[in-house]
Amino acid sequence: MTAAATLKTWTGAALAAPVVWLASIVNVPLKSWQRATGTGGMAAFFLAPNMAIFGIFVLVPLVINFFYSATSGTAYFLQDRTYVGLEQYQRLLDCGSYLDTATCREDLFWKAVHNTGLFVVVQVAMMTIVSIATALILNREIVGRSFWRAVFFFPVLLSPVVTGLIWRWILQRQGLLNLIVHDMGGEPYNWLTDRFWAFTAAVSVSVWAHMGFYTLILLAGLQAIPRDLYEAAEMDGTKPARVFWRITLPLLMPNLLVVIVLALIRAVQIFDEVYVLTGGGPGTSTLYLTQYIYEIGFASLLRNPGLASAASILMGLVLVVLTLLQLQVGRRGERKGARE
Amino acid sequence: MTKTRTVLAAISVSLLASTSAFAGDVRIMWYSDGVEGDVIQDLLNRFMKDNPDIHVTLDNVAYKVIQEQLPIQLEAGQGPDIARVTNIKELAQHWLDLRPLVTDPKYWDDNFGDTLDWMRPDGSKAIPGFMTQLTLTGGFANKTLFEQAGVALPGDKASWDDWINAAAEVAKSQQLPAAFAIDRSGHRISGANISYGANYIGPDSTPAKVDDGTKAFVGKLVDWTAKGLMLKDTWVSAAGSTYRAAADDFVNAQIPFYYSGSWQVANLSTKIGDSFDWVATGSPCGTAGCSGVKGGAALVAIKYTKNPKDVAKVMEYLAREDVVKEFSERTLFLPAHKGVIEKGGLKWVSTDKNVGPALDKFVKAAGETLPAADALPPWKWANAYYAALVTRVSQVMAGELTLDDAWGKVDQDIADKVAEAK
């Protein structure tokens, strides 16, 4: 054995020693645990640390939040707050007509609900269409394909605040877009104080920021479609549009459903980039649910933690429904995969 | 075994120490509008040189942090040892009473007595801190733009209409995006509301319903915004009570008239330099007077501090007459120290020819505030009123509410806040 090989062996042994020592200590109680509980018990044992973290950082705050929603007052300590039962929920849900926010006791909450609903519908539709189109292009044999994939994924890596600021600098009155418009002889426009354009900007920026992630999921789905199907279609002289509708889209459906559900959940939670971009304005036309909760809970001088907690519980219920939908979609995909 | 115990004990002690304040450590949460962060750091360095047993850390944070995060820290019984705040009265229950800790409470009563009620609960005799500056809301005009447009600056008793009409003429002549802007803040429009006869305070110091004075000025403001005379960005492009200043638009000569306050003097001087001449205008007049609203920032001790004695030493140093005088002269802030004001002779540290007259103008305008405006700084519900006004008026400007609907919403928002605080 050479000196180098000897050194390698000794180093390996030295590094492994503490692990072996630790394993020998853990081994005894683990064996007893396995004997007593079987394989199910072992699974629980290994899941326990993760569940503990989940419990401390998700479940416990959720329960505390629920208690907050049953109290009123400006104090932040639960013991200093007054128990009011479901009063905060009643206040949020007190509406003459849910379609007319002006008739609601908490009109800003319902404004945020309406805005979020519209945002979710438009943004998810746009996100899905743009992601499919991008994935289809990036799946082709184009020059610099890896480069383009990186380009489209790059915004996903940016912090939402950075994304919001970049686009704010582009779209504000004295921003880059107006500079270009002016240089081309046009009249600069105040994009972010116009309700339509502010909404369009909010949707477009969030699509730009997240489409890379969904494109990646769809790209994986496209690459899993057998090539011979396309070759057969080509031999039959099938038109490209028919190939897309009859082969690509049906076979991409499991991935597409995942994309839609994930995009739905994310759209309901929209906050940071839009908050930086429009501040919820003009007026309240891009005020979304999470911003409402943040404002009423922490930022506004009219803050009301109980009301914010109740609003977040209601929003949580919507997210639970969407998550169940996602699970359902996932299971259906698995069953279909197993059948095939 | 003994060795292991010693090591473990040492680790425990160092972990505990890392999470709690050392004796002699004082942390100040500070925000800056202009150069005051540098000035206070310089003053604190001198203090630490003379008091090596006390280490003062100055945390420079954004104003938003003071407004949004500090109240939550305080509610949780945490936060810095000292903070510079503008939400002085509403958070009064969190301030430390320095009276038993300072060597000469009479000095504080004599020199800061006029403003101590702004920062302590009603009826209390506590000394929570002192005002680092007195402020007064007021306007600024871009003199160069007015001259270029051949429009005369409206005089001392000019009304809001006079100012806006003159500024509109300048904006039209110089092809500017708007005639004027007011910071997005309820505090800023309150002087103007009061100048039109508004009174926010009802019986028993509870908030009054929106009255004709407020309706008169806000109606004008909404109308000016609809006509494009007021810069739309500042108020419309945000929701809720988010604060937005329009100083940068004035600095960039996008508006000939800007309504903000005396604390902007240093900021404007630094950023404008010699690009153009500007003047402070005081507050334009309404039907009831020409009032701004006084206010300011206070340096307050926090009652959750672990080192109250050291905090008191730092506060005593910063409240010293010579220190207050130097701080005011270098930051271009109006002092709140009675001795400094009475002795006069402040030598503003600035080579900018616009600064001296601007500060003099604010000192003069301070004598013209109306009683209804003077009652606001120590009033508990002032911030709730301001927030409700901003939230709803900007909705009107964005075309989401009518003015009549907005008044009802403002009253409801304030009533909710009062009910919630009970």
pLDDT higher at B25 or B422: B25
Q: Give the pLDDT confidence of A303-327 residue by residue, as tens digits.
A: 889 999 999 999 999 888 888 887 7
pLDDT (mean) for B312-328: 96
Reported confidence tier of residue B5, pLDDT bands at 50, 70, 90: low
DSSP B282: E
The nearest alpha carbon in chain A to B74 belongs to: A76
Reported confidence tier of residue A144, pLDDT bands at 50, 70, 90: confident
Q: Are B126 and B100 in contact (CB under 8 A)?
A: no
CB contact under 8 A, A190 and B232: yes
Residue B21: the pLDDT is: 55
Q: Which fold has domain B22-134+295-343?
A: D-Maltodextrin-Binding Protein; domain 2 (3.40.190)
Residue B178: the pLDDT is: 96
Residue A9: the pLDDT is: 80
CB under 8 Å to A104, separation ≥6 — which residues? A94, A95, A96, A98, A110
Residue B22: the pLDDT is: 63
- Alpha-carbon distances of B269 from B134, B258, B358, rounded to whole Å: 18, 14, 10
Q: Give the pLDDT confidence of B29-78 residue by residue, as tens digits.
A: 999 877 899 999 999 999 999 999 999 999 999 988 998 889 889 988 88
> Residue B261 and residue A265: Cα distance in Å, rounded?
44
Residue B14 has pLDDT above 60, yes or no: no
Q: How many CB atoms lie within 10 A of CB A155?
A: 18
Q: Are A221 and A235 in contact (CB under 8 A)?
A: no
CB contact under 8 A, B75 and A282: no
Hunting for tokens 């499919």 — which residue is that?
A132
Reported confidence tier of residue B13, pLDDT bands at 50, 70, 90: very low
> Residue B211 and residue A340: Cα distance in Å, rounded?
73
3-class secondary-structure state, position A329:
helix
Residue A339: the pLDDT is: 63
Using the Cβ of A175 and the Cβ atoms of chain B, whether some distance falls under 8 Å is answered with no
The nearest alpha carbon in chain A to B233 belongs to: A193
Q: Give the pLDDT confidence of B142-151 residue by residue, as tens digits.
A: 999 999 999 9
Report CA Rg, chain A.
27
Q: Which fold has domain B136-294+370-421?
A: D-Maltodextrin-Binding Protein; domain 2 (3.40.190)
Q: Which of B64, B69, B190, B236 to mutate to test the interface with A (most CBs of A within 10 A)?
A: B236
pLDDT higher at B26 or A28: B26
Residue B19 has pLDDT above 70, yes or no: no
DSSP tally for chain B: helices H, then strands E: 19, 8
Residue A340: the pLDDT is: 58
> Residue A113 and residue A288: Cα distance in Å, rounded?
7
Reported confidence tier of residue A335, pLDDT bands at 50, 70, 90: confident
> How far is Cα of residue B23 from the mean position of the Cα atoms in its chain?
32
Residue A197 has pLDDT above 50, yes or no: yes
**How are beta strands B257-261 and B180-182 bridged, if at all?**
parallel
Q: What angle do CA B238, B420, B130 make, to 5 degrees?
A: 75
Using the Cβ of A87 and the Cβ atoms of chain B, whether some distance falls under 8 Å is answered with no
Q: What percent of chain A has pLDDT over 90?
A: 61
The boundaries of every CATH 3.40.190.10 domain in chain B are 22-134+295-343, 136-294+370-421
3-class secondary-structure state, position A104:
strand
pLDDT (mean) for B90-103: 94
CB contact under 8 A, A299 and B242: yes
Residue B23: the pLDDT is: 65
Residue A267: the pLDDT is: 95
Report CA Rg, chain B.
23
pLDDT (mean) for A190-210: 94
> Residue B304 and residue B77: Cα distance in Å, rounded?
6
Domains of chain A: 3-69 (no CATH), 103-339 (1.10.3720.10)
Reported confidence tier of residue A105, pLDDT bands at 50, 70, 90: very high
pLDDT (mean) for A69-76: 87
Residue B64: the pLDDT is: 85
Reported confidence tier of residue A333, pLDDT bands at 50, 70, 90: low
Cis peptide before A18, with omega less than 30 degrees from 0? no
**Strand-pair partners of B60:** B30
Reported confidence tier of residue B94, pLDDT bands at 50, 70, 90: very high
**Pair of tokens at residue A145:** 């394909």
Reported confidence tier of residue A338, pLDDT bands at 50, 70, 90: low
Reported confidence tier of residue B173, pLDDT bands at 50, 70, 90: very high
Tell me which amino acid residue A78 is: L
Q: How many CB atoms lie within 10 A of CB B303?
A: 18
Residue A14 has pLDDT above 90, yes or no: no
> Residue A168 and residue B162: Cα distance in Å, rounded?
35
> How far is Cα of residue A328 from the mean position of the Cα atoms in its chain?
18
Residue B47: the pLDDT is: 96
The nearest alpha carbon in chain B to A190 belongs to: B233
**How are beta strands B278-282 and B129-142 bridged, if at all?**
antiparallel
Residue B1 has pLDDT above 60, yes or no: no
Residue B280: the pLDDT is: 96
> Residue A17 and residue A34: Cα distance in Å, rounded?
25
Residues in B touching A300 (Cβ below 8 Å):
240-241, 387, 391
Q: Are B350 and B379 in contact (CB under 8 A)?
A: no
Residue B190 has pLDDT above 50, yes or no: yes
Taking Cα atoms as reference points, which of B19, B13, B60, B54 lies closest to residue B38? B60
Q: Give the pLDDT confidence of A231-255 residue by residue, as tens digits.
A: 999 899 899 899 999 999 999 998 9
> Residue B392 and residue A111: Cα distance in Å, rounded?
13
Hunting for tokens 């109240």 — which residue is that?
B71
Reported confidence tier of residue B156, pLDDT bands at 50, 70, 90: confident
Residue A337 has pLDDT above 70, yes or no: no
Mean pLDDT of chain B: 90
Residues in B touching A108 (Cβ below 8 Å):
240, 391
> Residue A283 and residue B397: Cα distance in Å, rounded?
7
CB under 8 Å to B24, separation ≥6 — which residues? B53, B54, B55, B307, B310
Q: What angle do CA A198, A203, A205 make, to 5 degrees?
A: 90
CB contact under 8 A, B238 and A299: no
DSSP A78: G
> Residue A103 and residue A106: Cα distance in Å, rounded?
9
Residues in A touching B68 (Cβ below 8 Å):
298-299
CB under 8 Å to A42, separation ≥6 — which residues? A30, A33, A34
Residue B203 has pLDDT above 90, yes or no: no
> Residue B100 and residue B316: Cα distance in Å, rounded?
12
Tell me whether 0.95 is exceeded by the ipTM: no
Q: Which of A139-153, B4-18, B106-120, B238-252 has the lowest mean pLDDT?
A: B4-18
Q: How many CB atoms lie within 10 A of CB A192?
A: 26
Q: For chain B, list residues whose CB is within 8 angstroms of any CB belonging to chain A.
A: 67-69, 71-72, 75-76, 87, 177, 232-233, 236-242, 244, 252, 254, 383-384, 386-388, 391, 394-395, 397-401, 405, 409, 413, 416-417, 420-421
Q: What is the phi/psi pair of residue B125, to 5°?
A: -110, 20
Residue B9 has pLDDT above 70, yes or no: no
pLDDT (mean) for B66-93: 90
Residue B394 has pLDDT above 50, yes or no: yes
Kindly state the helix (H) or strand (E) to which residue A38 belongs, with its residue range. Answer: helix A3-54
Residue of A72, A76, A174 lying closest to B72 (CB–CB): A76
Burial B176-212 (b: 16+ CB within 10 A, else e): bbbbbbbbbbbbbbbbbbbbbbbbbbeeeeebbebbe
Residue A7 has pLDDT above 80, yes or no: no
